[in-house]
Structure 1
C-alpha cells in the first residue's frame, strides 16, 4: 500500500513515516509540506492513500488540496489528519471527497486501521466525529421543512449580516477579530446551509429576515 504524507510539520511527517514503514503492508512513497506540493507528489507517485493535514498555513490548505486531488486522482483515498475536533472542518473535508478523518492524537493502531479501511473503499471516522455527524443529520431532519435560518450558528448569522451590508471578507475578519480564511469557511458553510450560491441571494434573504434593520 503506497502512502503519501502531506503535513507542514517535518517532525510529524518523520514520525508517521517511521510508523507506516514499519508495517509489512505499507510504504511511504512521498512527503509534502503543503497542498500544492502534495498535489504534485500525488501525481508523480500515484499513492493508494494520502494522509492530509487540514491546517497548513503556507501554500494550499488541506481542504482545497483534497478537493483538487479527488478530481485528478479519484481512485486515491484521502484520510484527513487534524489536531482539533472541529465539526465544520470535518463536514467540509467529507464534502470535498475525503474518505475519513482521524485525530493526530489517536493511538497508532487506530491510524493504521483507518488507513487500511479507506484503502479498501470504506469510510473511517473517529468516534467523536461519528457522533457529530449523527447529531448534524438528526438536526437536519428536525429542521426539515422549517426555516433554514435556524441551522446557522451565531457566527454564521453575524457573517451573513455583514456580507449583506456589503463588507468584504477582510473587513469582516477585522470586525470579528478572526482570520480571513475563517470568514471564508463560515461564509461557504452558511451558503451551503441556506442552499444559496450568490451574494445577491444572501442580500435578498438577509432583507427578508430583517437583518439589515428593516425587512421586505
Structure 2
C-alpha cells in the first residue's frame, strides 16, 4: 500500500511542487490538497491520509492550531510533517510542541522531501539535531518543570536512550552506539514514551530539553 499524503499550504505553487515530487514516487500517493488549516479536519476524516504535509503560516487557521485540532479530535490521527521556510522560527518549535512529528524546509531537495514523508510514515520522527537544539535553547529552556520527567523514573539505560534520541539518532544508530540489538532499543524507546506520556519521539525530546534533562549545546 502506498503512503498517502494530504498537502496543506496556502501557496498553490508550493502545493504543485510538492505534488509533482511526491506523485513521481511509486510508493507515495497524494490524496488531497487544502489551502488553509481550517479545511484539514474534514479532509483528514474523509481521506484518512497517512501523512499531512502542513504549512505553518496560513490566513484562517495556522498549522500549529490545525495540528492541535487534528490530534485532539481525530481518533487515529495521521503523522504531521510541518513544512516551513525558516528552520529557526519560533513557529516551528511551537508546531513540534503541539504534536507535529517533524519539520521540512520548503527549500529541501526532492529526495529530502520524499525521505521525510517516508520517515514519518514509518513512525520515525524527522528531527534535525542541530536545529532542534537551537530551537530549544532559544524558545524552550525552562518552559517545563523537571518534576514530571523525574517522576517518570527512567532506568539508567532508558535515560541514556533518551539522550541519544535528543541528539537525533535513529533506533539503528542508538543500537550501534550502545552495542545492543535493534529490538532492545525499540523496547527502551517505547518504555521512555510510555513513562513520559509522550505521543512520539519528538514530544519526548522536547520534554527532555524543556525540563533541562538534556542541555542544548
| Contact 1:99–1:118 (8 Å) recurs in 2 | yes
2:8 touches 2:54 (CA, 8 Å); kept in 1? yes
- Cα distance, 1:126 vs structure 2: 3.4
Structure 1 residues 26-175: aligned runs within 5 Å: 26-57=28-59, 59-73=60-74, 74-126=76-128, 128-133=130-135, 135=137, 139-140=141-142
Q: How many residues align?
A: 144
18 and 134 in structure 1: CA distance in 2 versus 1, 3 angstrom threshold: same
List gaps (5 residues or longer) in structure 2: 148-209, 211-217
Answer yes or no: is the 8 Å Cα contact 2:70–2:77 preserved in 1: no
2:88–2:135 Cα contact (<8 Å) kept: no
Higher RCO (CA-CA < 8 Å; seq separation 6+): 2
Tell me whether 92-101 or 79-88 shows the greater mean CA deviation.
Answer: 79-88
**TM-score of the aligned structures, taking structure 2 as reference length:** 0.60
Q: Secondary structure at the match of 1:125?
A: coil
RMSD: 2.6
Show structure 1 runs of 5+ residues with no match: 146-192, 194-216
Using the alignment, how far apart are the partners of 2:109 and 2:123 within structure 1? 22
Q: Is the 8 A contact 2:93 2:139 kept in 1?
A: no
Greater shift in the superposed pair: 109-118 or 20-29: 109-118
Retained in 2: the 8 A contact 1:102–1:126?
no
Give, in whole Å, the separation in 1 of the partners of 2:124 and 2:135: 16
Taking structure 1 as the reference length, what is the TM-score of the superposition? Answer: 0.60
Report deviation, 1:135.
Answer: 3.7
